[in-house]
Structure 1
Amino acid sequence: MAPLSSAHADDTIHLIVPYGGGGLVDGLVREMADTMTQELGQPVVVENKPGSNGIIGAAYVAAAKPDGLTYLVGATGPLSLNVLLRKNLPFKMESFEPVGTMFSGPLTITVPTSMGVNSLDELKTWAKESGKPLRYAMLGPGSVTHLFGMVLQDVLGTELVPVAYKANPEMIVDQIGGQVELNFSTPISLVKHVASGDLKILAISTEERMGKFPDLPSVTELGYPQLVSSFWFGLVAPAGTPAAEKDRVSAALQKAMSVQSLQDKMINVGMTPHVGGADAMQAQLDWDVDFWGGVIKKNNISLD
């Protein structure tokens, strides 16, 4: 690890999380920050700045002094999707520079057991024979779950109608009750409902099966690679941050993300750890622009 400059030896690094405190992501980031503190010999603290689908936190970092002391825990929605869906933002993609990757989570394609559908192929047949639109639960307009429904719509060849919810528990209750046919929640949030026989997970949106859920087929193995997608978390810095500072923080981030106990916690809650630097983070941002940007353009979606 590069030695601290005298100017930064006693300065605190701030990781801005654009969500409220106490959640799953917040806890993982705080544990990661503790290891980064040890690696850097410099305090690394987590600050929560929630609101407006992550815009408040992202805008704060975009406007911060690029001195290597402020970073955004970016994610698919707060960073990529906001930029792709909104023109009137206090920041743009170029307002940030990549530092490193953290972890990602998959979506599922889940149906009520009462539908009698047991595979993606059967869902496709069911949709065609029903002759009516399928309703799917989503976490608000412009969310990953909203856009994923647009992708699945093309695969099924039938209209999907989004139904907005504020949180996963509400959509799960309504799906069990028959108000929606489809739900794309993460597998960890559905485990008990699958075990009870209320819901059936047809697939997870990954290339390969996940070790945490070995019985769930991936969309790729089922012949639907176009459905591969996820939501991610990673670290970005304000544009103009000195390369030496970004490199130091990136190295500490990768060290923290390599700690087995932290990786185990991520895997246990259905996430996939990603140990990668600036190039890997940039590749993810580029993928978002290509994949989600294409979905947004094709379906003429805008939140302005």
Structure 2
Amino acid sequence: MFQLSRRNALKLMTAGALAPLAMPTIARAAGETIRIVYPYAGGSAVNNIIRMIADNMSKTLGQTVILEDKPGGNGIVATQSVARGPKDGTMVLVGATGTLPLNTLLRSALPYKIEDFQPVGMMLEGPLTVTVNTKTAPVDDMKSLVEWAKERNKPLHYATLGPGSVTHLFGVLFSKATGLPSAPVAYRNNNAQILDLLAGQNDLNFSTPASLIEHEKSGEVKMLAVTTSDRMARLPDTPTVVEAGYPGLLCSFWYSLMVPTGTPDDTVTRLNEALNIALQDAGIRERMEAECLTNNPGAPTAVTSILERDMKVWGDIIRSEGITLN
């Protein structure tokens, strides 16, 4: 994986001020502003972090970099617009789990395909959790959860963000890995599903750690595991699914930067280097850690690897369950 050395970072930062002379330039004819297109509504923690990344990249590149929120159609509107956009680095997509592998696997009439894009680099990953209400589920870990559910002998109801969402598919993966029957319950947003978890309306919740930490501190819920291979800094006492004996439950949601296929290699390299410098910024790293997100500087090939993983893992689930979306 590409590693940006301190020496190279200093060289690049110095060159940033002289970018028009010292580095391959992003097509000036299309204007100096670089638009990073975010496929969902603004205001979320992830959106704010990516905005910080854009601001940092602007300083390195010596060009204005803005984050443009473009929600609509489960990310299709924004993703399609970048697929048809200029191939000069001035229009960049925030590629995500939902917009690329999941939309591709779930929707037969999608107006774009993964091959329409080439990766710039991975920005961040986030895990899911296996969480229960402490009053309705008398369990302390994954082992006791499985034992309790088998004794209860009825399906575990788990919250999802709708058919085909990561939480829905993870629920299927969880059921296959544990041998426990389950039933998805769809919600419009994360807050609604957490409220129902607190009210004891659902047995399981797979929300992100950051959205559940305060509820765990109050004793209302317990995170039995996180879907990572290593424990998280903010959750040192929460085991991973690997430690719990379920390595097949390793998964994440992620956000990357993508450009239209055909964008010149030197432009991709320039954007990748600026992104990696941003990801090493102390303020950005601290903000990610606070949200239980993983900082992932590296080469464009890291995105390719994660895409291939998701197409295999989620593709197997989607095909076996016959899940499709219009």
Q: Say which SS state the counterpart of residue 188 (structure 1) adopts.
A: helix
In the other structure, the counterpart of 2:167 is 145
Question: Aligned match of 1:257 in 270, 279, 293?
Answer: 279
Q: TM-score, normalised by structure 2?
A: 0.90
Which residue identity does 2:233 align to in structure 1?
A: G
In the other structure, the counterpart of 1:48 is 69
Alignment partners' CA distance in 2, 1:214 and 1:203 = 11
Q: Say which SS state the counterpart of residue 28 (structure 2) adopts.
A: coil
Q: Verify the 8 A CA contact 1:127 1:156 in the aligned structure 2.
A: no
Alpha carbons of structure 1 residues 174 and 233: separation in structure 2 relative to 1, 3 Å? same
In the other structure, the counterpart of 1:155 is 177
Q: Show CA shifts across 1:168-221 (max 9, x none).
A: 221111112221100001111111211222111110011111111101100101
Alignment partners' CA distance in 2, 1:109 and 1:21 = 27
Alignment partners' CA distance in 2, 1:286 and 1:213 = 29
In the other structure, the counterpart of 2:100 is 79
- Say whether 1:58 aligns with 2:79: yes
Once the 2 structures are TM-superposed, how far is the Cα of residue 87 of structure 1 from its aligned partner? 1.0
In the other structure, the counterpart of 2:25 is 5
Alpha carbons of structure 1 residues 141 and 5: separation in structure 2 relative to 1, 3 Å? same
Once the 2 structures are TM-superposed, how far is the Cα of residue 242 of structure 1 from its aligned partner? 1.2
In the other structure, the counterpart of 1:94 is 115
In the other structure, the counterpart of 1:16 is 37
Once the 2 structures are TM-superposed, how far is the Cα of residue 15 of structure 1 from its aligned partner? 0.3
Alpha carbons of structure 1 residues 186 and 6: separation in structure 2 relative to 1, 3 Å? closer
Q: Say which SS state the counterpart of residue 257 (structure 2) adopts.
A: strand
How many corresponding residue pairs? 304
Q: Verify the 8 A CA contact 2:26 2:267 in the aligned structure 1.
A: no
Alignment of 1:1-304 (within 5 A): 1=12, 3-5=23-25, 7-8=27-28, 11-114=32-135, 115-304=137-326
Q: Show CA shifts across 1:256-278 (max 9, x none).
A: 11112211110011111000121
Alignment partners' CA distance in 2, 1:53 and 1:152 = 24
Alpha carbons of structure 1 residues 245 and 161: separation in structure 2 relative to 1, 3 Å? same
Once the 2 structures are TM-superposed, how far is the Cα of residue 66 of structure 1 from its aligned partner? 1.3
Once the 2 structures are TM-superposed, how far is the Cα of residue 158 of structure 1 from its aligned partner? 2.1
Alpha carbons of structure 1 residues 16 and 273: separation in structure 2 relative to 1, 3 Å? same
Alpha carbons of structure 1 residues 93 and 205: separation in structure 2 relative to 1, 3 Å? same
Q: TM-score, normalised by structure 1?
A: 0.96
In the other structure, the counterpart of 2:4 is none
Alignment partners' CA distance in 2, 1:56 and 1:6 = 24
Which residue identity does 1:244 align to in structure 2?
A: D
Q: Show CA shifts across 1:22-61 (max 9, x none).
A: 2211211111111111111111111010012111111111
Runs of 4+ in 1 over 4 A off after TM superposition: none
Q: Say which SS state the counterpart of residue 81 (structure 1) adopts.
A: helix
Q: Verify the 8 A CA contact 1:128 1:157 in the aligned structure 2.
A: no
- Aligned CA RMSD, in angstroms, stands at 1.4
Which residue identity does 2:83 align to in structure 1?
A: A
Once the 2 structures are TM-superposed, how far is the Cα of residue 5 of structure 1 from its aligned partner? 3.4
Q: Verify the 8 A CA contact 2:24 2:267 in the aligned structure 1.
A: no
Q: Verify the 8 A CA contact 2:27 2:90 in the aligned structure 1.
A: no
Question: Where does the alignment leave 5 or more consecutive residues of structure 2 unmatched?
Answer: 1-11, 13-21
Alignment partners' CA distance in 2, 1:4 and 1:46 = 22
Question: Where does the alignment leave 5 or more consecutive residues of structure 1 unmatched?
Answer: none
Once the 2 structures are TM-superposed, how far is the Cα of residue 7 of structure 1 from its aligned partner? 4.5
Once the 2 structures are TM-superposed, how far is the Cα of residue 293 of structure 1 from its aligned partner? 1.2
Alignment partners' CA distance in 1, 2:27 and 2:315 = 41
Once the 2 structures are TM-superposed, how far is the Cα of residue 156 of structure 1 from its aligned partner? 2.1
Alignment partners' CA distance in 2, 1:164 and 1:152 = 16
Q: Verify the 8 A CA contact 1:54 1:79 in the aligned structure 2.
A: no
Q: Say which SS state the counterpart of residue 312 (structure 2) adopts.
A: helix
Alignment partners' CA distance in 2, 1:5 and 1:196 = 53
Which residue identity does 1:3 align to in structure 2?
A: M
